[in-house]
Every structure is written in C-alpha cells, then in structure tokens.
Amino acid sequence: MAFIAPTTKQQAYDHPAYEVPISFNLGDSNALAASGAARFVAWTNMILKSATLTVGVAGTNTSTVAFIKVSAAGTATTTIASLFIGTGVVAGTSIGTAAGQTAYISLGTTAMAQGDMLGLLNGIDATAQLAVSIEAYLTPGANLTV
C-alpha cells in the first residue's frame, strides 16, 4: 500500500466541524509539586471555552494552578485563568482537595493558533493530581486534515 500524505483544506464557515464543540484531555497532571505539567498543542486554529478539573488523588495542601498559553514561536506566554485548590470552595474559582472534587472554569474565548501550547502550571501540593478536560471550538475557516 502506498503512503498518501494528508492534505489540509478549509471548509465553509458553517461546516459542522466548526459548529460542534470538541473536547480533549490534558491528561492527568503529576503530583502538583512535581516539575511536569499537563499540556496540549493546537493542531489547528481553535477557540478555548472552558475547562473541567477533577481531583484524582487527594491533596494535602492549598495550592493554585494556572492555565497558560504559549505562542507557537515560544516568545509570548499568557495566563488565561487560575484556580485555587483548598478549603473554602467558591464555584468557578476554587476546588477542594478531596478526591472526586470537580470544578468548571471559564477560559473565555481564548484564541489558539496552530502550534500554540496550552499548559496547566503546577502548584505546590506534593500529592494532589488532577484530571483536566478542555472544551473548544475550531475557528471557522481553520485548516483541517482531509
């Protein structure tokens, strides 16, 4: 079987690919105090709308995590949103440390260009681990692989 290289093209602005939300996982974070952070690279132009975070492994400390966007050229870093992890939970701004706690946070209408990276900066908790899911839309007219 011969290799066929993928091609890209733009669809009409009202193509279903641009109207249906997509969801992707940043995966489980390492323990928040570890150096690794969850991240995602945009495969085409997209608009970030929200994030859902769930504590998978309970934490023992208060901490703050932040969503950042790094430009494809790596020259600009922007903080999009942050979330407090600890006691005194306030919907949309914080989450408890117990396993199973879930928080929804708005990412506004953050534009991501192809190659831009979305990252979740780690906090200081030595045990807490989070599962992170993102809701986004493809930017109308963005290139799609066909």
Q: pLDDT tens, 35-80?
A: 556 788 998 899 999 998 888 888 888 888 888 899 988 788 899 9
**In the chain, count of helices (H) and strands (E)?**
1, 11
The whole-angstrom separation of Cα 66 and Cα 70 is 13
Give the burial class of 92: count Cβ atoms within 10 A of its Cβ; 0-12 exposed, 13-18 middle, 19 or more buried.
exposed
Give domain 34-145's CATH number out of 2.60.120, 1.20.120, 1.10.510, 3.30.70. 2.60.120
How much is the pLDDT for 146?
65
Which three-class secondary structure state does DSSP give residue 29?
Answer: coil
Q: How far apart are CA 130 and CA 113, in angstroms?
A: 26
Residue-wise pLDDT for 91-135, tens only, equals: 667 788 888 888 888 898 999 999 999 988 877 777 888 888 999
Domain boundaries, the chain: 34-145
**What pLDDT score was predicted for residue 2?**
73
